[in-house]
Amino acid sequence: MASDNMKMRAQLKGDVTEVKVLMSHPMETGRKKDDFDRLIPAHFVQLVTATLNGKTVLEAQWGTGISKNPYLTFRLSGAKTGDTIEVTWHDNLGETATQNITVT
Amino acid sequence: MQRRDFVKLVFGAFTLAFILPKNALAAIWNKAAFETTQLNEAEKNLEVNGEKLSQDILITVPDKAENGAIVQVEVKSNILNTETISIFVEKNPTPLIAHFKFSNGAEPFVVTRIKMAETSDVKVVVKAGNEYFMNAKNVVVLENGCG
């Protein structure tokens, strides 16, 4: 899927790598109504996984309570400059996006 | 190759390619915990039990949120062997917000932005080994962000 779907940054600070991720997603709860008073169907990210050089480091399950255009920061110890971090999300409608970044 | 074998093979490939990943995803997502409107039900579905209050769970949230649609939450656990961090908003329509599982050198630390319907406690539950710990912080919400 489109690579502009996710913005990522991974910076090594001391011996900890801080990874920041901004996803583009409506995160509809299924409780909101449109201008014509019709319910907007739920559409939200359910699963986010992150890997470091192919090894899983973070698995997140999300509900509808995460804000629109989800933001996430996590920290890894043991990552080095040049390592690859990949983040993938899956939503309740079967859509998915993947993005990777090199640690700097 | 016999025709029926070919058909079986094609069906098998379809099953593997399309049906399995969906089922795998559905199996990972804890539907019961995320869809319940009761905090204690959500915790029960995550198998939380005997949680102890711990000041080693550091929660950084604003005291007051103008707009409940975006409330930044930072959670850091100083509890040894923290495996998971779960975030709940007690008074949201569905209290369980997120459940994070850490492995292979990920620090028990997350920052994310959440929706809050009204003034409520933000509750964090940490699993370490077979033990559960919790801490909570109240956020005053001026405008409903759950729409």
Instruction: Locate A60 and state its tokens.
Output: 């997140």
Q: Is the pLDDT of residue A2 over 50?
A: no
| pTM summary value | 0.88
Instruction: Locate B130 and state its tokens.
Output: 């077979």
Beta carbons of A91 and A16 less than 8 angstroms apart: no
Size of interface A-B (CB pairs under 8 A): 114
Q: Looking at residue B120, what is its pLDDT?
A: 97
Q: What are the residue boundaries of the structural domains of chain B, listed by start?
A: 36-141
Q: Is residue B44 less than 8 Å (CB to CB) from chain A?
A: no
Mean pLDDT of A41-60: 97
How many residues does the structure list for chain A?
104
Question: Phi-psi region for residue A82, left (φ > 0), alpha (ψ -120 to 50) or beta?
Answer: left
Q: Is residue A23 less than 8 Å (CB to CB) from chain B?
A: no
Selection from B19-23, B102-106, B141-145 with the highest mean pLDDT: B102-106
Q: A76-89 pLDDT, tens per residue?
A: 998 999 999 999 99
- Closest to B49 in 3D by CA, of B40, B58, B57: B40
Backbone angles phi, psi at A91, to 5 degrees: -110, 180
Q: 3-class secondary structure for B79-117?
A: CCCEEEEEEEECCCCCCEEEEEEECCCEEEEEEEEECCC
Q: Which CATH class is domain A6-102?
A: mainly beta
B50: Cβ contacts below 8 Å, ≥ 6 apart: B131, B132
The interface pTM score, or ipTM, of the predicted complex is 0.94
Q: B99-139 pLDDT, tens per residue?
A: 999 999 999 999 999 999 999 999 999 999 999 999 999 99
Q: Is the pLDDT of residue B1 over 70?
A: no
Q: What are the residue boundaries of the structural domains of chain A, listed by start?
A: 6-102
First to last CA, chain B: 58
Q: Cα(A98)–Cα(A96) distance, rounded to whole angstroms?
A: 7
Query: Would you tell me which residues 40-99 of chain A have a C-beta closer than 8 angstroms to some C-beta of chain B?
Result: 46-47, 50, 52, 55-68, 70-79, 90, 94
Q: B23-65 pLDDT, tens per residue?
A: 556 568 999 999 999 999 999 999 999 999 999 999 999 999 9
Q: Is residue B69 less than 8 Å (CB to CB) from chain A?
A: yes
For A51, B5, B98, B117, B122, the CA distances from B90, given in Å and listed in that order, are: 31, 55, 13, 10, 7
Q: According to the CATH classification, is domain B36-141 in 2.60.40.2470?
A: yes
Q: Cα(A4)–Cα(A52) distance, rounded to whole angstroms?
A: 21
